[in-house]
Amino acid sequence: MVRNPIYLGMFGLMVATGLPYTTWWALLAAVIIFLSGNRIRIRSEEKLLRETFGVQFDEYASRVPAFFPRHL
């Protein structure tokens, strides 16, 4: 469903924990920081994967979204 299921799971845990235990503005700030950091991390990891696997990774990446699933 996604290329980075661990990061998606961490995001879900953060949101699920934040909803009952923090204020909306603190959760919003955490979401923004988390998504920004993940974008940087995913880009750097995918650069290494493209260098290693080339066209095979590009084909895989075109079929499978990086973070948020297209279909549920």
pLDDT score of 71: 75
Question: Structurally, how many domains does the chain consist of?
Answer: 1
User: In this structure, which amino acid lies at residue 8?
Assistant: L
Contact (CB, 8 A) for 66 and 3:
yes
Is residue 45, in this structure, part of any structural domain at all? yes
Is residue 12, in this structure, part of any structural domain at all? yes
For each of the chain's 72 residues, which pLDDT tens digit applies? 999 999 999 999 999 999 999 999 999 999 999 999 999 999 999 999 999 999 999 999 999 999 999 876
Is residue 71, in this structure, part of any structural domain at all? no
Q: What is the DSSP string of the chain?
A: --S-HHHHHHHHHHHHHHHHHS-HHHHHHHHHHHHHHHHHHHHHHHHHHHHHHTHHHHHHHHHS-SSS-S--
Is residue 33, in this structure, part of any structural domain at all? yes
Tell me which residue range forms the domain holding 43.
5-63
Is residue 68, in this structure, part of any structural domain at all? no
pTM of the model: 0.84
Is residue 22, in this structure, part of any structural domain at all? yes
pLDDT score of 55: 96
